[in-house]
Amino acid sequence: MNFGMNQFLGVFFEEAEEHLTSLENLLLTLDLQEPDPEALNGIFRAAHSIKGSSGMFGFEEMTGVTHVLETLLDQIRSGQIRLQVEMIDVFLEARDVLSQLLDNYRAERPPVDVPVAAVSQRLQALIERYSPNNQATPTEQAYGLFDDESPAAADQSEEAYGLFDDEVSQPAVATEQDDKDAAYGFFDTPPQPQGETEPSPTVATQPMAVAKPGPKTTPVGTEAESSSIRVSVERIDSLINQVGELVITQAMLAQLTSALDPGEHERIFQALNQLDHNTRELQEAVMSIRMLPISFIFNRFPRVVRDTANKLGKQVELILRGEHTELDKGVIEKLTDPLTHIVRNSIDHGIETPAERLAAGKPERGTVRMSAYHQGGRIVVEVSDDGKGLSRERILAKAKEKGIAVSDDMPDSEVWPLIFMPGFSTAETVTDLSGRGVGMDVVRRNITSIGGRIDINSAIGLGTHIAIRLPLTLAILDGMIVEVDKVHYVVPLTYIVESLQLKAEHLYSMSGSSSSVISVRNEYLPLLSLHSLLNLATEPPPAVGSIVLILEAEGNTFALQVDELVGQQQVVIKSLEQNFRRIDGITGATIMGDGSVALILDIDALPRLAGQGVANHA
């Protein structure tokens, strides 16, 4: 690495991860009886690309593993060896070893604890066992920068790997198969199977969305174009922060000029309107850069389900829906661990063994479904299973054992959230998957830390359904500014159905309760007061004549009483937990045009707070 190539290490690590993801996804979709030739070619090319790129940087352990791996893969795709079940397991082990090596190289530590020799020997043993000639190709002893020739792929007319090569040049008469089998260079994208064949619902995954390489270098005198570039996340985050500050500055200018006479300062107002329009377009364009398809998370779960089910002796089918739904990269990063824990719990606690399912009149193969979709300006991610469901009795018994105040006649909607209590577990035995009383409380904490909410529902013998509601982005939102007790609050615009001034004929009192409802177009809605929800010291104004917002959250519609409507505004979201502490009913804060701080209301949580009667207000 003493000839100026350190600058390319970051690109290598990213592309190697993409190749490993592609390799794993393709392995999990293979039909053992009739493997798809394109999938086999894609798996081979992924291994071959990693071998070539790692050889450039002198990562000999990675190069050695991928060389033996591609030797076996080449014999499988050429029909010399028939694909076996045990090969898939060893291929996945090799993939895990390569991932461990990558982590070690990135951390600049020697890979002494990575089982390189063991997995290489297992791959070599498969070659020796199933090769028709019973002759194994010896592993190469050293890999030079330009030495990428594989004995098993000698018919491919491979070129040396150049520093800026993104494809291996092919002669004009090259066949289609020659082109497919060509060595992939350092800047190549992960190989993907071609065609429109839809994957099996068992592992219903979509190819990883990655940057496409630009066209080859053109002759002198013509300009080359690139369809994409790689930009560090730090630069994107810095750009988003600057756009956020621009939004705040624009709001300040709008407030400062609000007292001016539009007739006398028409040109100023025209310029401000144009600035508002341009700022909004710039914000939307910049935010779209951080939006990634949720397939970045979903694509790892076929492997998670396969490994967990095999370890527990269960048969589980995974069905994925909505993989192209996009959300902020920051949300995706916080969502990965909670979803992994939920899926493992579904298989461990929910899905029964094949014998238990058959005895219960169910198919022996259980089903876990994962889906993502947009709802009211938020992303909803759902995980459900058709297992045995949660046991009220065991949850209540465990709660009583831990000293939690519960009663046997509690509704299910209050029983299920008990599993999110710290240290709560109903597992009878402790395993490496569950039973230690940690996990679900961390799941909820991670979800709420990004302004999300998690809900659970279950039925005995039918299964469990978990819904996670998340913000589209962690940066900017459109909001309605409301005033309560001379303090400004922000209501996300996506929750607002309408606003109205309450008249006496709208208002009704609940018999035997201090609660009130209002009638809007023959529909009765509960009336909540923001004064009461936030435990403000002052009394709320009389309901009659006050301003109410009709809000819809999670399928529930209710009315929220406020003092005044200030106006609609785009606001920059600042994390309250990072700068202060978590407050029930508040999802974040923002800086207003006059420099003051306004709290952003968590509309999903308001009905729950009303049911509890109190809010934890600062």
Nearest Cα neighbor of 587 from 463, 427, 477 is 477
Q: What is the mean pLDDT of residues 337-344?
A: 90
Which pLDDT does position 335 carry in this prediction?
A: 87
Cβ-in-10-Å burial (0-12, 13-18, 19+) of 227 comes to exposed
Give the model's confidence band at 613: pLDDT under 50 very low, under 70 low, under 90 confident, else very high.
Answer: low
Q: What is the mean pLDDT of residues 562-575?
A: 83
Nearest Cα neighbor of 161 from 182, 174, 145 is 145
Q: Write out the H or E segment, with its range, that includes residue 467.
A: strand 463-471
| Contact between residue 506 and residue 520 where contact means Cβ atoms under 8 Å apart | yes
Give the model's confidence band at 219: pLDDT under 50 very low, under 70 low, under 90 confident, else very high.
Answer: very low
Domain ranges of the chain: 6-181, 233-292, 294-471, 476-612
Q: Exposed e or buried b for every residue in 12-44, given b needs 16+ CB within 10 A?
A: bbebbbbbbbbbbbbbbbbeeeebbebbbbbbb
Phi, psi angles (nearest 5°) of residue 335: -90, -20
| Contact between residue 576 and residue 589 where contact means Cβ atoms under 8 Å apart | yes
Which pLDDT does position 479 carry in this prediction?
A: 87
Q: Pull the structure tokens for residue 297.
A: 């998370």
| pLDDT at position 64 over 50 | yes
Q: Pull the structure tokens for residue 163.
A: 């520093």
Helix (H, G, I), strand (E, B) or coil at 382: strand
| pLDDT at position 153 over 60 | no
489 CA to centre of own chain: 29
The distance between the two most distant Cα atoms of the chain, rounded to a whole number of Å, is 93
Query: If you write DSSP's letter for every residue of 286-347 in order, what string do you get?
Result: HHHHHEEETHHHHTTHHHHHHHHHHHHT--EEEEEE-TT-EEEHHHHHHHHHHHHHHHHHII
> What's domain 6-181's architecture?
Up-down Bundle (1.20)
Measured between alpha carbons, how far is 36 from 29 in angstroms, rounded to an integer?
9
Lowest-pLDDT choice from 109-123, 212-226, 313-327, 410-424: 212-226
Q: Write out the H or E segment, with its range, that includes residue 564.
A: strand 564-572
| Contact between residue 192 and residue 48 where contact means Cβ atoms under 8 Å apart | no
Q: What is the mean pLDDT of residues 102-124?
A: 87
CA angle 472, 477, 481 (to 5 degrees): 140
Nearest Cα neighbor of 387 from 417, 443, 346 is 346
**Torsion over CA of 321, 88, 180 and 208, rounded to 10 degrees?**
30
Give the model's confidence band at 357: pLDDT under 50 very low, under 70 low, under 90 confident, else very high.
Answer: very high
| pLDDT at position 617 over 60 | no
Query: What percent of the chain shows pLDDT beyond 90?
Result: 15
How many Å is the Cα radius of gyration of the chain? 29
Q: Write down the residue that tokens 């929910």 correspond to.
A: 350
List CB contacts of 533: < 8 A, sequence separation 6 or more: 585, 606, 609, 610, 615
Which pLDDT does position 403 carry in this prediction?
A: 81
What are the pLDDT digits (tens) for 393-402? 888 888 888 8
Give the model's confidence band at 189: pLDDT under 50 very low, under 70 low, under 90 confident, else very high.
Answer: very low
Tell me the helices (H) and strands (E) count for the chain, helix number first: 18, 18
| Contact between residue 372 and residue 325 where contact means Cβ atoms under 8 Å apart | yes
Phi-psi region of 613 (alpha: psi -120 to 50; beta: other; left: phi over 0): left
Which pLDDT does position 159 carry in this prediction?
A: 35
Q: pLDDT higher for 381 or 421?
A: 381
Per-residue DSSP letter, 167:
B
Measured between alpha carbons, how far is 597 from 293 in angstroms, rounded to an integer?
33
Give the model's confidence band at 5: pLDDT under 50 very low, under 70 low, under 90 confident, else very high.
Answer: low
| Contact between residue 347 and residue 316 where contact means Cβ atoms under 8 Å apart | yes
Which pLDDT does position 462 carry in this prediction?
A: 92
Q: List, in sequence order, the alpha helices (H) in 214-265.
A: 233-256
As beta bridge partners, residue 552 has: 557
Which pLDDT does position 165 carry in this prediction?
A: 39
Residue 362: C-alpha distances to residues 126, 311, 313, 349, 387 (Å): 38, 21, 17, 16, 9
> What's domain 476-612's architecture?
Beta Barrel (2.40)
Per-residue DSSP letter, 349:
I
Measured between alpha carbons, how far is 244 from 473 in angstroms, rounded to an integer?
13
Q: Write out the H or E segment, with its range, that includes residue 580.
A: none
Measured between alpha carbons, how far is 367 from 318 in angstroms, rounded to an integer?
6
Q: Pull the structure tokens for residue 12.
A: 């290598």
Measured between alpha carbons, how far is 227 from 293 in angstroms, rounded to an integer?
19
Give the model's confidence band at 150: pLDDT under 50 very low, under 70 low, under 90 confident, else very high.
Answer: very low
Measured between alpha carbons, how far is 294 from 206 in angstroms, rounded to an integer?
10
End-to-end alpha carbon distance in the chain: 55
Measured between alpha carbons, how far is 58 from 143 in angstroms, rounded to an integer?
7
Residue 210 C-beta-side C-alpha neighbours within 13 Å:
20
Which pLDDT does position 361 carry in this prediction?
A: 92
| pLDDT at position 570 over 70 | yes
Which pLDDT does position 221 carry in this prediction?
A: 39
Which pLDDT does position 579 carry in this prediction?
A: 65
Q: Write down the residue that tokens 């497919």 correspond to.
A: 180
> How many C-beta atoms lie closer than 10 Å to residue 358's C-beta?
12
The domain made up of 294-471 is a member of CATH 3.30.565.10: yes
| pLDDT at position 618 over 80 | no
Measured between alpha carbons, how far is 98 from 27 in angstroms, rounded to an integer?
15
Q: Pull the structure tokens for residue 317.
A: 């089918």
Backbone CA torsion sign across 113, 115, 118, 120:
negative
What are the pLDDT digits (tens) for 257-314? 877 887 788 888 889 889 988 888 888 888 788 888 898 889 889 988 998 998 899 9
What mean pLDDT value characterizes the chain?
76
Q: pLDDT higher for 218 or 53?
A: 53
